[in-house]
């Protein structure tokens, strides 16, 4: 964590996302606490790399598509139990109860173990999708302003 020089030597809570590995690592004061498989944004709706921070916490909430119905990127109103916004414009870490598969390659077109639908056979719309049990554990650990490093 010192390599990233995030918030001095302590580091506090830091979420590190590897878009190549499709993995999230949670550090607390420089110590790795847990790692999780994720699904990031698909090719046409990528998750933005960079240095961010948690700017909104919501539990529960409902996501509504900003795309018009009929668009390839439209989705119906979707209940979400845990959501952590890391970049303005609706980029969140959140539960993805409609997926079974998380990890390397799942941000590309694939057959999901739960049965592929138009919502789970590709990457997200830029969010970081997580297994519901994983985000349920992570959500209470992450305060407003926690650092996010995405590469």
And the tokens for 56? 């909104």
Q: What is the DSSP string of 78-107?
A: EEES-EEEEETTTEEEEE-TT-S--STTTT
Predicted TM-score (pTM) of the model is 0.92
For residue 92, give the nearest of 31, 32, 138 by alpha carbon: 138
Q: Which residue has the tokens 């997580």?
A: 130
In this prediction, residue 1 has a pLDDT band, given cuts at 50, 70 and 90, of low
Q: Write down all domains in the chain, each with its CATH number in brackets.
A: 16-150 (2.40.440.10)
pLDDT, one tens digit per residue, over 50-91 is 999 999 999 999 999 999 999 999 999 999 999 999 999 999
């Amino acid at each position: 964590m010192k390599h990233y020089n995030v918030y001095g030597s302590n580091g506090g809570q830091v979420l590190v996302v590897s878009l190549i590995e499709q993995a999230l690592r949670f550090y607390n004061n420089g110590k790795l606490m847990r790692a999780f498989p994720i699904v990031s944004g698909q090719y046409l709706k990528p998750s933005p790399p960079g240095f961010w921070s948690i700017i909104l916490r919501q539990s529960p909430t409902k996501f509504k598509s900003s795309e018009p119905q009929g668009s390839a990127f439209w989705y119906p109103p979707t209940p979400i139990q845990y959501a952590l916004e890391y970049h303005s414009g609706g980029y969140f870490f959140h539960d993805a109860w409609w997926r079974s598969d998380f990890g390397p390659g799942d941000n590309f077109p694939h057959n999901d173990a739960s049965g592929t639908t138009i919502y789970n056979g590709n990457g997200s719309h830029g969010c970081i999708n997580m297994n519901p049990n994983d985000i349920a554990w992570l959500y209470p650990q992450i305060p407003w302003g926690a650092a996010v490093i995405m590469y």
